[in-house]
Chains A and B, each alone.
Chain A
Amino acid sequence: MADYDVIVIGAGLGGITTGALCAKNGFRTLILEQSDLIGGCCSTYERDGYKFDVGASIVEILHPMEKVFELLGKRREDYIDLIPCDPIYSFITEDGRKFSYPTDIDETTKIIESIAPEDVEGWKKFSNMGLKMIDEMMEAVMLSPLNSIPEAMAVGMKNPQVLKFMPTLLRTHQGVVRKFYKNPVIQSSVAFQSYFAGAPPEIGSGIFGFIALSEHLGIYYPRGGMIGIPKGIADAGQEFGLEIRLNSKVERILVENRTAIGVELEDGTQIRSRMVVSNINAKVAYLKMIGPDHLPSWAVKAMDSYRISMPCPMIYVGLDCKPDLDAHHTVVTGSIDAMNKVWNDFYTKGIIPKTAMSLICWPTEADPSLAPEGHHILNFLCNAPAPYAPLGDNWDRLKESYKEDAIKELETYVLPDVRDHITIMDISTPLDFERRLLSPQGSIYGLFSDITSLALLRPHPRSRAIKNFYLTGSSTHLGGGVPTTLASGVITNGYIMKDHG
């Protein structure tokens, strides 16, 4: 007799979403989270009166979130208060030029015209085509299952307009950017998405080009911090009986005759269930928690072949004054070639780049309540990407010098006397991410995202190797990110309903 219908391992966004929807559908559902916080990378922790976001810093493309609440039969506004942020990004380029992109497409056109009149045509073409694509693909691709060729064909037949965008999606990110823009400054302002998401523009999928564009539909910050999103969904799920246990680490997934039958916790407790859903890194779930002995050899080969997404050291800073910034996000950016160079000459060789790009987030611009009155918070990726295992060193030893690099970065780009205004400073290195989130090598986007590991080629939400075993979150279709992991929760729930509903 099973203790639960569904056990979800991990309370990241995908896990919380799947769990809440399962509970709504009448399944006795338990989420087991090894840490003391829900949300995974989309979470917020408090220290000395400051609320720092662990990783995710914004939500764009609200459609999946609205869909989750629609399926829960609740109003999103009753659970999550979203604050619109405008401008979307502010940029500081290699030559010190500063500019911002507002949400409004026409206003953005004016900014582009002032920098590179030759790119206005490309921008108009790209935004017209891209916004149409985003609109048409939202439901068709983001929230549709893509587990097999027949399912992909069904999506294509149901939405033939999607097919005309395929050539663009099959290009690399830099291919898409260079097709539409000639000016290197404009190129650098739309080429960083794949870079900060864990793939250089020369390898990252062309779909990243559209993420930049999707943000013109609006970007939002949840009041109280990014944890507001998983908390809102969890609160709604708990009204349907969803149980969440924190500080409960799952040691292994119990399997009998290639069927998942429950989990075993760190303390040896076994909990039986009809279904097991993994919201942890798929490599860990398959190769460590299930183990090669329970898997067919092809499944072991598949899981061994995936590369982990990049790690990202995060710096968290409290200031006693207002920083000199213009937007929720400021990107210290470089040319496409510089991004590829950092990746090939530093990151893949285990060297921490000294002259790389940074992404600075200023959440107190949207929500001042995150810090004591008059104080501000900056969360940022400094000199990203940085390797998990720096050559001849390790992150525990490097912490202090990395903090110093971060301060210098802030002195250059944010506030010359920032050192005198820092009231608190924290760092989460790849090792810390690995310890805190149990993410192998501190990866923050699950698996590497390129054309060979997306959609049909990413671990499927419904396992073909183990019966009654499902996956959700950044290791599955759509990959890492807030809207994408929310969408994965919807898709995984769809499979569960199909199989057991």
Chain B
Amino acid sequence: MKEKMKKALLVAVAASAVAGYFSASQSTRRYIAHLAKQLPYLPYRYFI
């Protein structure tokens, strides 16, 4: 039951993130895309 709830919660969060992204303005979408592209590098940047 707990597992099912966890999954449902994850799906809800993912769905609301996707919905939020598509309802955002073009400008905000570009900003989110920009941040997403940089995300993988942040741990390296923190240490340099």
User: Footprint of B on A, CB under 8 Å?
Assistant: 172, 174, 202-203, 286, 298-299, 301-303, 305-306, 337, 340, 344, 450-453, 456-460, 463-465
Q: Are A344 and B48 in contact (CB under 8 A)?
A: no
A305: which B residues are within 8 A, CB to CB?
38, 41, 44-45
User: Footprint of A on B, CB under 8 Å?
Assistant: 27-28, 30-31, 34-35, 38-39, 41-42, 44-48
Q: Are A302 and B47 in contact (CB under 8 A)?
A: yes
| Min distance, Cβ A469 to any Cβ of chain B, angstroms | 11
The 7 lowest CB-CB distance pairs between A and B, nearest first, are A305-B41, A302-B44, A452-B38, A302-B48, A457-B45, A202-B27, A301-B44
A465: which B residues are within 8 A, CB to CB?
47-48
Q: Are A298 and B42 in contact (CB under 8 A)?
A: no
Give the residue name and chain of the A residue nearest to B39 (CB): A452
Give the residue name and chain of the B residue nearest to A463 (CB): B48
Bound complex: CA A353 to CA B39 (Å): 30
Which applies to chain B's interface (DSSP): helix, strand, loop or mixed? helix
A-B contacts, 18 listed (Cβ < 8 Å): A174-B27, A202-B28, A202-B30, A202-B31, A203-B34, A298-B48, A302-B41, A302-B44, A305-B41, A305-B44, A450-B34, A450-B38, A452-B45, A453-B45, A458-B45, A463-B48, A465-B47, A465-B48
A303: which B residues are within 8 A, CB to CB?
48
Bound complex: CA A212 to CA B11 (Å): 43
Give the residue name and chain of the B residue nearest to A172 (CB): B31
B48: which A residues are within 8 A, CB to CB?
286, 298-299, 302-303, 459-460, 463-465
- The listed residue (A174, A344, A453, A464) touching B47 by CB distance below 8 A is A464
Bound complex: CA A463 to CA B47 (Å): 9
| Min distance, Cβ B37 to any Cβ of chain A, angstroms | 9
Bound complex: CA A344 to CA B39 (Å): 20
A202: which B residues are within 8 A, CB to CB?
27-28, 30-31
Bound complex: CA A286 to CA B45 (Å): 13
Q: Are B44 and A203 in contact (CB under 8 A)?
A: no
Bound complex: CA A302 to CA B41 (Å): 6
Greatest chain B CB density within 10 A among A202, A340, A465 is at A202
A453: which B residues are within 8 A, CB to CB?
38, 45
Give the residue name and chain of the B residue nearest to A456 (CB): B46
B46: which A residues are within 8 A, CB to CB?
456-457
| Min distance, Cβ B38 to any Cβ of chain A, angstroms | 4
B45: which A residues are within 8 A, CB to CB?
302, 305-306, 452-453, 457-458
Bound complex: CA A238 to CA B44 (Å): 38
A451: which B residues are within 8 A, CB to CB?
35
Bound complex: CA A301 to CA B40 (Å): 10
Bound complex: CA A286 to CA B41 (Å): 16
